[in-house]
Amino acid sequence: MKKALITGITGQDGSFLAEFLLEKGYDVHGTIRRSSVDFRERIAHLEGHPNFHLHYADLGDSMSIMQVVSKVRPDEIYNLAAQSHVQVSFDSPEFTADVDATGVLRILEAVRLCGLAATCRIYQASTSELYGKVEEVPQNEKTPFHPYSPYAVAKLYGFWIVKEYREAYGMYCCSGILFNHESERRGETFVTRKITLAAARIAQGKQEKLCLGNLSSLRDWGYARDYVECMWLILQQPEPEDYVIATGEQHSVREFCQLAFRRAGIELRFEGEGENEKGIDVNTGKVLIEVSPDFYRPTDVVNLWGDPTKAKQKLGWDPTKKTSFEQLVNLMVDADMAKVAVERAGEQVKLNLAEYLEKGIVK
Ligand code: NDP
Ligand code: GDR
C-alpha cells in the first residue's frame, strides 16, 4: 500500500485529495495544526477510516516536519499547506513568506535528511499567481513570471527551490501551476464563495447586499475536485516536470455574479463604472452589489487565462469532459442555498422553542 502525506489536508484541496487517494487505496496521512476551535469540518467525514491518519505539524516548524516525515516515510508528499489568501498576504507578508516559501524548503530538506530523496515524490502547490502582472495570454509553462503580491513572491521561491532540488539532488519533485479552482468547500473569503453564499443569503432574505472589489478581474476557474486528480497524475509520470492545470476559459468576477444570482433566482443588471458600479435586481430595482475599495489590493492580478496544452498531451487532462464554468457556479450556489436553508430552519426551531418555553408549553 502506497503512503501519501498531505500538508494542508484541512483545506479545500487537501480534503478532496484525501478522498481521491483513499479511493485509490493509499494510506493517507495529513498534517493538522492545533487550533482553539475545530477547523476539521472538511475532513470530518474521513476520520475513523482505517487508512486515514492525522499528525500535528506546522510548515513554520522544521522539527515538526522532520518528525512527521521520519515517522510516516511517505512515498508521495503533496505540499498543499499555505497561507493561501492573496489579500491577506499584504497584511501578513512575513508569515506568508515563512510558510509559503521557507516552508517548502523545510519539506524538501526533511525528505533529504530522512534519507528519502531517492524514493519520495513531492508535489508542490504552485499557482497561476506566479504570472501576476504578465500581459501575455494565455499563460503556459514557458510564460515568464511576474509575481504581484507577497503571496506570489513567496510561491515563486517555492517553485524555484523545488526546481533546484530536482536539478541539484535528482529528486522527483515538481510543481503543478494550478489556476483558480473552486468548490462548495472553498473558503468563504475567496471571491467565488463570497458571491455564492451572498446570493443564497440575499435570495432567502438573510442579507441585504454584497460588497466586492474589482468586478472586472478575469480568472480561469475550474472545479477543485477535478483538479486534485491532476496533482496525483503529475506524480505518476516517468520524469518529474512542472505542469499548468487550467480550463483554458476566462470569465470576469462580474460574470460569476450574474450567473450565481441567476441560479439563486435573481436577475442582475450592472450599471456604472469602477467604484460606482452597482449590481441591481432587474425586478425590484434594489441595489444588491456594491463596489468597496476595502476589497481592492495594492497590486491586483487581473488577467489570468491558462493554456493547459502540455497537461492535455502528457496527463490526458481534458477540461471539456470536466465540470464546466456554469456547472461550477450552479453546484456552489445549490450547496449554499441548502446551507442557508438549514441555518434558517435551525433559527426557526430556536425561536419556536423560546416561544414554547415562554408560554409554558414546554418546560
Ligand atoms: P486553503 O486555504 O483552503 O487550505 C490551506 C491549508 O494550509 C489548510 O489546511 C491550512 O490549515 C494549511 N496551513 C496554513 N498555514 C499552515 C502552516 N503554517 N502549517 C501547516 N499548515 C498550514 O487552500 P486551498 O486548498 O485552496 O489550496 C491548497 C494549496 O494550493 C495552497 O498552497 C494554495 O496556495 C495553492 N493553490 C490554490 C489554488 C486555488 O485556486 N485553490 C490555485 C493554485 C494554488 P488550517 O486549516 O489549519 O488553516
Ligand atoms: P485569487 O482569488 O486572488 O485569484 O487567489 P480571490 O478569489 O481572492 O480573488 C480573485 C479576484 O477577485 C477579485 N475580487 C475579490 N476577491 C476577494 N477575495 N474578495 C472580494 O470581495 C473581491 N472582489 C473582487 C480579486 O481582486 C481578484 O482579482 C486564489 C487563491 O486560492 C490562491 O491561493 C491561488 O494561488 C490563486 O487563486 C490561483
User: Tell me, what's the ipTM?
Assistant: 0.99
Q: Is residue 313 part of a domain?
A: no
Q: Is residue 275 part of a domain?
A: yes
Mutate to test the pocket of ligand 1, among 7, 39, 84 (most ligand atoms within 8 A of CB): 84
- Regarding whether 128 and 208 lie in a shared domain, the answer is no
- Regarding whether 209 and 111 lie in a shared domain, the answer is no
Could you tell me if the CB of 84 is within 6 A of ligand 2? yes
Q: Is residue 9 part of a domain?
A: yes
Nearest residue CA, atom 10 of ligand 2?
Answer: 191
Q: How many structural domains comprise the chain?
A: 2
Rounded mean pLDDT for each run of 10 residues along the chain, 363 residues in total: 98 98 98 90 97 98 98 98 98 98 98 98 98 94 98 98 98 98 98 98 98 98 98 98 98 98 98 97 98 96 97 98 98 98 91 88 79
- Regarding whether 161 and 196 lie in a shared domain, the answer is no
Directed axis angle between helix 62-72 and helix 103-113, to 10°?
Answer: 40
Q: Is residue 308 part of a domain?
A: no
- Regarding whether 165 and 35 lie in a shared domain, the answer is yes
Could you tell me if the CB of 126 is within 6 A of ligand 2? no
**Could you tell me the residue range of the domain that residue 35 belongs to?**
3-178
Residues labelled catalytic:
127, 129, 151
Q: Which ligand is nearest to the CA of 8?
A: 1
- Regarding whether 267 and 150 lie in a shared domain, the answer is no
Q: Is residue 152 part of a domain?
A: yes
- Regarding whether 77 and 161 lie in a shared domain, the answer is yes
**Domain harbouring 171, CATH code:** 3.40.50.720
Rounded to whole angstroms, the Cα distance separating 182 from 163 reads: 27
- Regarding whether 342 and 273 lie in a shared domain, the answer is yes
Nearest residue CA, atom 26 of ligand 2?
Answer: 214
| Largest CA-CA distance found in the chain, in angstroms, rounded | 76
Nearest residue CA, atom 21 of ligand 1?
Answer: 81
Least Cα distance to 232 among 28, 10, 53 occurs for 28
Rounded to whole angstroms, the Cα distance separating 225 from 328 reads: 11
Q: Which ligand is nearest to the CA of 256?
A: 2
Nearest residue CA, atom 35 of ligand 1?
Answer: 125
- Regarding whether 23 and 169 lie in a shared domain, the answer is yes
Could you tell me if the CB of 81 is within 6 A of ligand 2? no
**Domain harbouring 197, CATH code:** 3.90.25.10
Give me the pLDDT at residue 361, please.
Answer: 84
Which ligand 2 atom sits nearest the alpha carbon of residue 211? 21
Degrees to nearest 5, angle at CA 182 with 139 and 252: 55
250 CA to middle of ligand 2, Å? Answer: 14
Q: What is the torsion angle, in degrees rounded to the nearest 10, for the CA atoms of residue 88, residue 90, residue 91 and residue 96?
A: 70
- Regarding whether 203 and 144 lie in a shared domain, the answer is no
Q: Is residue 59 part of a domain?
A: yes
Least Cα distance to 224 among 7, 18, 5, 6 occurs for 18
Q: Which ligand is nearest to the CA of 228?
A: 1
Give me the pLDDT at residue 135, please.
Answer: 83
Q: Cell numbers for 230, please give them.
A: 491532476
Which of 156, 178, 200 is where one domain is finished? 178
Polymer length of the chain: 363
**SS3 assignment for the chain:** CCEEEEECCCCHHHHHHHHHHHHCCCEEEEEECCCCCCCCHHHHHHCCCCCEEEEECCCCCHHHHHHHHHHHCCCEEEECCCCCCHHHHHHCHHHHHHHHHHHHHHHHHHHHHCCCCCCCEEEEEEEHHHCCCCCCCCECCCCCCCCCCHHHHHHHHHHHHHHHHHHHHCCCEEEEEECCEECCCCCCCCHHHHHHHHHHHHHCCCCCCEEECCCCCEECCEEHHHHHHHHHHHCCCCCCCCEEECCCCCEEHHHHHHHHHHHCCCCEEEECCHHHCEEEECCCCCEEEEECHHHCCCCCCCECCECCHHHHHHHCCCHHHCCCHHHHHHHHHHHHHHHHHHHHHHHHHHHHHHHHHHHCCCC
- Regarding whether 126 and 18 lie in a shared domain, the answer is yes
Type of residue numbered 31 = T
- Regarding whether 158 and 15 lie in a shared domain, the answer is yes
- Regarding whether 81 and 203 lie in a shared domain, the answer is no
